[in-house]
Chain A
């Protein structure tokens, strides 16, 4: 039971972290909507989540991204995002003279969508915890 709670919480925690990172990236795109030569970026969420969880994506040929930590002193490199291989540049819809590829409609839509996903993850965590509490209280 403990392992079950741990596993489910870990999954949602990873998803939540990844959604927060994606939110950060989308906010960067929106902030740089007027910056010359800025190229909009985004995360391939499905691939990144599976990569961070250490699972292989059946659709892709890539190995899981998590590094094998074979000794206790091994640390992750903070300058490299764990899902760096799943970051891509957004395809340009309308080219602009200054080389900027931020399309505000696309970015705002992605931002709103990601916010809802984030809230959904929070709701799932709450539901899980509430369910556990109910089980403990024996109601």
Chain B
């Protein structure tokens, strides 16, 4: 039943977009985390999306294949009093670009909203289909 597949497809997109929102939230929260769990400065994380067949050849959902760390150089801040400062007094700060993360967040939330709309439409159409032949 294709209309149920619409729900599945929108569902995969919802979970992928929420992973993207999660990474954005994590990046924003750690925009100033000098030390990560491995002792290095925090690095911005990005999700990688890939189309994935859901049911049959016509239905392509989306899934997160991997979460990669941004290759952008770390931000150097001059702060000699910081215990993490190097010999010249510079502290390596996370490579999180807050503006980019905000844009990413808005884009992810719009995509999420779009897919909830798709789900609602599919639900309405399914209900209409179930009511065929009823007065």
* Residue B96 CB within 8 A of the other chain: no
A7 contacts which chain B residues (CB < 8 A)? Answer: none
CB distance from B65 to the nearest CB of A (A): 10
In the bound complex, residues from chain B placing their C-beta under 8 Å from that of A118 are: 125, 128
| Alpha-carbon gap, A119 to B129, bound state (A) | 8
The interface-forming segment of A34-42, A55-63, A68-76 is: A34-42
Decide: A115 and B121 in contact? CB cutoff 8 A: yes
- Residue pairs across A and B with CB atoms within 8 Å: the count is 106
> A122 to chain B: which residues have CB within 8 Å?
125, 128-129, 131-132
A37 to B107, CA, bound (A): 18
The dominant DSSP class at the B interface is: helix
Please report the total number of A residues contacting B with Cβ < 8 Å.
Answer: 35
| Beta-carbon contacts under 8 Å, A98-139 to B | 104, 108, 111-112, 115, 118-119, 122, 125-126, 129-130
Q: Contact between B132 and A28 (Cβ–Cβ < 8 Å)?
A: no
Max chain A C-beta neighbours (<10 A), residue from B1, B50, B132: B132
- Does A24 reach chain B (CB closer than 8 Å)? yes
Does A85 sit at the interface, judged by CB under 8 A? no
Whether A31 contacts B132 by the Cβ 8 Å rule is no
**Are B2's CB and A17's CB within 8 A?**
yes
Contact of A24 among B17, B59, B131 (CB under 8 A): B59
Q: Which of A17, A35, A104 contacts B50 (CB 8 A)?
A: A35
Residue A97 lies at the interface, judged by CB distance under 8 Å to chain B: no
Q: Is A52 an interface residue (CB 8 A)?
A: no
- Closest Cβ of chain A to B112, distance in Å, is 11
Contact B49 A34, beta carbon cutoff 8 Å = yes
Most chain-B CB neighbours within 10 Å: which of A16, A24, A108? A24
**Which of chain A's residues have a CB closer than 8 A to the CB of B107?**
34
The reply to whether the CB of B12 lies closer than 8 angstroms to some CB of chain A is yes
**Smallest distance from the beta carbon of B12 to chain A beta carbons, Å?**
6
Which residue of chain A is the closest to B57 with respect to CB atoms? A81
Q: Would you list the 9 A-B pairs with minimal beta carbon distance, nearest first?
A: A31-B13, A20-B2, A28-B60, A35-B49, A27-B6, A27-B9, A24-B2, A122-B128, A24-B5
